[in-house]
Structure 1
């Protein structure tokens, strides 16, 4: 392991950031009722949105991850990550160590999203803290 890689890994562990963060709002442009989902260990799993969100529909969302986690997200029209796949993204660009985000207002069809799947995350021992979504590019 290179010294620079070791130093980066140590800094990450100390900072206690999340591997990924996914936030949804019922309104456009990050307004309305908000629900924040995140994982500090890069869980690869399917997550259903709360009924308080799905009853009004998702108006906008933001996904953020770090390059070293390699997490990606896909959004689905039904619970349990079933139904139509409405979109997907990998937020961390190759070669960029800072978090990057995928932020969008939803289309009429995507407003009906019911679940999302996080996949491809590397298993890294990062724990505690929350990802500061404001630091995403």
Structure 2
């Protein structure tokens, strides 16, 4: 907006005093004033307004319910994800123990104690021995 130039928007404000004098207004305006004061809708205009208000409230409630449901689903998803990670780590540990136990047994049975000692200290050498003795596709 440039200073010195008027800025016009398309907002029209109407101030209504629901407790004021209704003698100089139309029937629709009288009905609207009564509606705004808390009375039931009693004209075509106020009935249409009331229907739109109820529609907006329903949408607002639906939106709130949806957001609550989405938050719940997000929490369940995150909880399931964490449970899966915990189970995956435990399964991975079990598989590692099994492979290392098989490697240890294979090296001891074949009298390769020095290689067992080296494998315990060198993870790369350990992988080489696992591929050689236990699982050729071991990563």
Provide TM-score, normalisation by structure 1: 0.22
Q: Using CA pairs below 8 Å that are at least 6 residues apart, which structure has the higher relative contact order? A: 1
Structure with the bigger percentage of helix: 2
Structure with the bigger percentage of strand: 1
Provide TM-score, normalisation by structure 2: 0.21
